[in-house]
Each structure stands twice: as C-alpha cells, then as structure tokens.
Amino acid sequence: MSPDTPRLPHFFIAGAPKCGTTSLYHHLDQHPGIYMSPIKEPNYWAPEFHAEPVARHAALFRAHAEKVRTWLDGPMDTRLFAGPVTSLADYHRLFRRSTDHQVLGEASPNYLWSPQAPARIAAAIPTAKIIAILRNPADRAFSQYRQMANSGGVTHNFQQHLEKAVANTDRRHLSDLWPFLELGLYATQIERYRTHFPTSQIRVWLYEDTLAPNFHYDVFDFLNVDTCFTPDTSTRYLEQPRPRFKRSARLIQDSGLASLVRRTMPSSARPLLKKLAFRRDAKPVMRPFSRAWLIDYYRDDIRRLEQLLQRDLSAWLR
C-alpha cells in the first residue's frame, strides 16, 4: 500500500484512564504485526477533548497543540504523549509510516467515557475492535488523584477532592473535578459501545486480568495477530513519583521547564536530580472512610456492570 493512501486504525484501546492502558500501548507497539499511533491519546474521536479544557490551562493547551502540529510535519520517529489531533487529515498522518503492519491501533483512554466517541468511531470504522481495561473504580479515582497531587495540580486531601467533585456543577469545561468521578461509571460506558458495536468486537478485561501470564496472548488473539510473540513487560509505565515540593512541581510543569530539562540534561545526571526532586517513602493509602464513600457512589453501576460482563465484582464492593 502506498504511504500516501489514508489509513485508519483497526482497533482502539478505549480506556479507562489509570487502568494500565499506557503499559498495554507500549507492549502492543513491540509486536511486529501491530502499528500503534506514535501519539498516545490523540483523542481525535472525542471532540470533548478538542476545546481548551479550562481557562488557567488555555496557554499551555495552545502551546501543546502547536507542538503537535510541528511534530506532525517532521519524521515522527519519536513518541509523543497526548494530542490533540483535531483534523482528519492530521489523524491520517499518524499512520503514514504503517505500510507493512497487519493491524493499526491507537490508545485514547478518554474514548471510553466520551459520550460522542462510540458513534463517531462506528460511523467511520464499523469493523473496529474496542479494548477496555477496567479497574476497581475507587482505586482508579485514588490513582488519578495521586497523579494530580504529585504534579501539584491539587493541594487538598482526597476526601475533600471527592466532595468538591460532587459539588461541582460545571459540565462545560474539563477540569480536575469533572469528569473525575464519572470516569469510573463503567456500565454506562460499556452500554454505549454495545449500542454501536457488536459484542464480538468489544473485549473487556479487568485490571487484575492484565497481571495474568496469558493476558497479552489473549489480546493478540483478539486482534488476529501472531500469538507466539512475547513482549518485554519488564518496564512499568506512568508510576507516579512523589515530589518533595508539590507547589514547585506544578510551576515547573506549567512553565515548560520540565520539558526543557529533559531535553538538555545529560542522562548521567538525571538519577541524582530525581533523588533530589522526589521522595522514596511508601505510597499513600486510601482511608477507609473514603473507600466506603466511593463504594456507595459506584454501587449501582458496579451491579449493572456485573450483569453486562457476567463477572463477579463483589471484591469492588468491599
């Protein structure tokens, strides 16, 4: 096939966020028969993520969008994290180097939550296969909170964040508060995909399933590629270190200084910088009161999900 022929993905890692999708993206990318979009999270099919999310991030959002456009004009020989890719022509360009691969894929974990993504994908690629990984929604929310707290994005405690998320009524702008809790309402999201795709094209794994030795072979089988390939799974992705100074961490990220340091600092000096910037103490643990609060919040959705998947999810309710 000519590199000028527009190509679209055969499958999507649609979600959910903080459920292991980044690791799966990298592991599938190793397979010689699979070509993964060199931008993880282009979010093309989820227009909710095309607009500037919140006013205080507007300048950063515009700068990143410009970075994406510049990157698309280049050789695309490096990986880029997160879009936005907003035009179909640019989306086609993500796969222009994919002429010798069996199947093409991309990973945008927000597609699972997006109310618009399932219909948009189905209209353009009705044969697409959908992959979802679901994690205990209480643990998923706590993991996302830790990521935001470690970057300096939030300074209040977890229970306060839950209460702020419930009290938040702004559904026009994406923020740290919305759709923070909604991302864990999996039954509603799976039902939406089943409305637009046959169940044979949708495969749902639980986070615990990804730890099984045969997990990747099951994914390869679902995608109809060589199941004899063994990916290197030794690297763990997106594990969040705890910064020593959270407010400073946020300022460094928003100013672009972190990106500059990564580009210019010698690799030999990075371990020392990490030791100075991040703590090595034990990971925070969710308090029982907050877990009970979240179990109550998600209870009805979990029961519906049990029926949809025909799997016992009682451990999520303890």
pLDDT the model gives residue 282: 63
Measure the CA–CA gap between 253 and 60, rounded to whole angstroms.
10
Q: Residue 311: what are its φ and ψ, rounded to 5°?
A: -135, 145
Q: Does 271 have pLDDT greater than 80? A: no
For the segment 32-52, the average pLDDT, to the nearest whole number, is 92
pLDDT at position 102: 93
- pLDDT tens for residues 76-134? 888 898 888 999 999 999 999 898 899 999 999 999 999 999 999 999 999 999 999 99
Phi/psi for 45 (5° steps) reads: -85, 0
Check whether 3 has a pLDDT greater than 70.
no
Does residue 5 register a pLDDT over 80?
no
Residue 248 has pLDDT above 80, yes or no: no
Q: Which residue has the tokens 């390939």?
A: 229
Cβ atoms of residues 131 and 12 within 8 Å: yes
Q: Is residue 43 within 8 Å of 110, Cβ to Cβ?
A: yes
- Per-range mean pLDDT, top range of 44-53, 231-240, 245-254, 293-302: 293-302
Residue 41: exposure state from Cβ atoms within 10 A (0-12, 13-18, ≥19): buried
Please state the rounded mean pLDDT for residues 187-200.
98
How long is the chain? 318
Average pLDDT over every residue of 239-259: 52
pLDDT of 281 strictly over 90? no
Say how far residue 17 (Cα) sits from the centre of its chain: 4
Around Cβ 113, how many Cβ atoms within 10 Å? 23
Q: What is the pLDDT of residues 51-66, one digit of tens each?
A: 665 545 677 777 888 8
User: Residue 283 — pLDDT band, cuts 50, 70, 90?
Assistant: confident
**169's tokens:** 């009524």
For the segment 140-191, what is each residue's pLDDT rounded down to a tens digit? 999 999 999 988 888 899 999 999 999 999 888 888 999 999 999 999 999 9
Given this model, what pLDDT does residue 204 score?
98
For residue 204, CA distances in Å to 36, 106, 166 come to 19, 16, 28
Q: How confident is the model at residue 268 (pLDDT cuts 50, 70, 90)?
A: low
Q: Which residue has the tokens 């979600």?
A: 15
More confident residue, 283 or 223: 223
Number of H helices, E strands in the chain: 12, 9
Helices assigned H by DSSP within 14-116: 21-29, 58-72, 88-93
The burial class, CB within 10 Å (0-12 / 13-18 / 19+), for 25 is buried
Q: Are 131 and 37 in contact (CB under 8 A)?
A: no
How confident is the prediction for the chain on average, in pLDDT? 87
Each domain of the chain, given as residue ranges in start order, spans 11-140+181-239+299-317
Report whether 103 contacts 11 (CB < 8 A): yes
| H-run or E-run covering 13 | strand 11-15
CATH superfamily for domain 11-140+181-239+299-317: P-loop containing nucleotide triphosphate hydrolases (3.40.50.300)
